[in-house]
Amino acid sequence: MPDVFIGLMSGTSRDGIDAVAASFGDRRIDLLATHSQPYPDDLADALARIIDAPDHVNLDHLGELHAWVGEVFGEAAVSVRAKITEPDANIVAVGSHGQTIRHGADSRHPFSLQIGCGARVASVSGLQTVADFRSADIAAGGQGAPLVPPFHQWLFAAPGKRTAVANIGGIANVTLLDGVDSVAGFDTGPGNTLMDGWTLRHLDEPYDNGGQWASTATADPALLTRMLDDPYFARQSPKSTGLEYFNMDWLERYELADPAVAQATLLALTATTITDAVAAFSAERLLVCGGGAHNTALMRALADALPGVVVATTEANGIHPDWVEATAFAWLARERINHRAANSPGVTGATGPACLGAVYPATR
C-alpha cells in the first residue's frame, strides 16, 4: 500500500472543512476517503466576527480560536481516517491549511495568518501534521499565495496543451500551464465571496444556488466597468488578495439600486476577471474547481466568454472539483515530509525555492 497523506482545507468562504485521504503515484491520485463537515455554528459565528471586524479583535479570543480551529481540524482528520477501508494504509502525515483570517502579503512586513494550531491537529488526530504553509514563501519574498499552482502543474499539465485551472472559492485564482511548464498563477479577485454576501443580505441564504438569482437579471455594463476599474485588476502578477480587500465594505462603494441586477453584475465580475486571464493566455482548455464549479450560471458565463476553449470542471481530469484543494494540501504535506521545495517562485514572486510548512510530530 503506498504512503497515504491526509489533506485538510477550509477556504475563504468559511463553509467548513474538506478532508481527503490520498496516495500519490506518477501524476496519479488515489482518493481513499473524503469527508466534509461544517464548522459548529458558534465557531462559524466567531470566525465571521474576527474576519469581518478585525479592529475589534481580542487577543485572548484570537488565541482561543487558534486552538479551537486546530481541534476541529484534528477531528476532521480523525473522521476521514475512519473512512479508509484499506487495512494496511500507512498514514504518513496530515497537511492542514487552517483558516485564513488575514492576508497581508503587501504589508510593510508581509504576512499571511492562518489559524488552526498544528500541534493541536497532531494531538487530536494522533498523526504527524504539517501546517503554516504560507510563511516560508513569504519569508523568501513571495506572496505566499496562491500555493496550489505546483500541484495543478503536477496533476493537470499536458504536453503540447495550454491549460488554465481556475479555483473558484471565496477568492478566485488561476494557474496557467503551457504544456508541462507552469507559466503563471495569481488571484484574479473575488470568486464567490461578494455573491455569497449579497445573497445572504437580500435572500437570507448562504449562497445563490446554481446562480439562479443572478439568472433572473442582466448585468449592468456600466456598474461592471466601474468595478473593473479597481486597481487590483490592472496589477501584474505576482499578486494575491483576500477578504480584507474584497468584502461587503468594498461593495458599498458602488450604487446598487436593484439587488438582482447587482447579483448578476457580481457574477459577471467573477467571470470576467477569470476569463480575461484565460483569454490573454490563449488557453485551449479551462478546468474549474472549488465551489464556483457548482454555479451553473457562472460556468455558462465562463464558457460564453471563451468561444473555442473547452470549459469543464476538474472531474473531466479525474478529480471532483470539491476535493482538489484538500488534495493539494495532502500533496504539499508529502512534499514537505520528503524535504522538497513546493512553492513556485515564478507564481508568488519568492526569490527562490522553499520547503513549505512546519512539522508537528504526533503526540499520542
Q: Would you say 130 and 337 are in contact if contact means Cβ atoms under 8 Å apart?
A: yes
Q: Would you say 130 and 96 are in contact if contact means Cβ atoms under 8 Å apart?
A: yes
Sequence-distant (6+) residues with CB within 8 A of 215 are: 264, 297
Residue 111 phi/psi, 5-degree rounding, is -160, 165
Query: What's the average model confidence in pLDDT over 171-179?
Result: 97
CA 189, CA 167: separation in Å to the nearest integer?
Answer: 11
pLDDT of residue 26: 87
For 270-288, b/e burial (b = at least 16 CB within 10 A) is bbbbbbebbbebebebbbb
Q: Would you say 95 and 360 are in contact if contact means Cβ atoms under 8 Å apart?
A: no
* Cell triple for 351: 526569490
Q: Would you say 12 and 99 are in contact if contact means Cβ atoms under 8 Å apart?
A: no
Q: Where are the beta strands (DSSP E) in the chain?
A: 3-10, 17-24, 29-37, 90-104, 111-115, 129-131, 162-168, 171-178, 181-190, 285-289, 310-313, 358-360
Report pLDDT digits (tens) over 185-239. 999 999 999 999 999 999 999 999 999 999 999 999 999 999 999 999 999 999 9
Report pLDDT digits (tens) over 51-87. 888 888 899 999 999 999 999 999 999 999 999 998 8
Query: What's the average model confidence in pLDDT over 102-115?
Result: 95
* DSSP conformation class of 113: E
Burial class (CB in 10 A: 0-12, 13-18, 19+), 97: buried
* Cell triple for 246: 474584497
Sequence-distant (6+) residues with CB within 8 A of 5 are: 21, 22, 23, 24, 91, 92, 93, 94, 95, 330, 331, 333, 334, 337
Question: Residue ranges of the domains in the chain?
Answer: 3-143+323-360, 149-317
Residue from 5, 187, 169 nearest 80 by CA: 5
* Cell triple for 195: 455573491
Q: Using the predicted structure, report yes or no on whether residue 110 has a pLDDT greater than 90.
A: yes
Report pLDDT digits (tens) over 238-278. 999 999 999 999 999 999 999 999 999 999 999 999 999 99
Q: Using the predicted structure, report yes or no on whether residue 326 has a pLDDT greater than 90.
A: yes
CA 39, CA 69: separation in Å to the nearest integer?
Answer: 9
Residue from 259, 312, 321, 314 nearest 290 by CA: 321
pLDDT of residue 364: 65
pLDDT of residue 52: 84
Query: What's the average model confidence in pLDDT over 81-98?
Result: 94
Report pLDDT digits (tens) over 155-174. 999 999 999 999 999 999 99
What's the CATH superfamily of 3-143+323-360? ATPase, nucleotide binding domain (3.30.420.40)
Does 149-317 carry CATH code 3.50.50.60?
no
Residue from 66, 79, 62, 65 nearest 127 by CA: 79
Query: What's the average model confidence in pLDDT over 335-353?
Result: 96
Q: Which residue has the cell 472539483?
A: 321
Q: Around Cβ 341, how many Cβ atoms within 10 Å?
A: 18
Report pLDDT digits (tens) over 17-37. 999 999 999 889 999 999 999
Half-sphere exposure of 176 (CA within 13 A, CB side): 20
The amino acid that residue 239 corresponds to is K
Model pTM above 0.75: yes
Domains 3-143+323-360 and 149-317 share a fold: yes
Residue 5's pLDDT band, with cuts at 50, 70 and 90, is very high
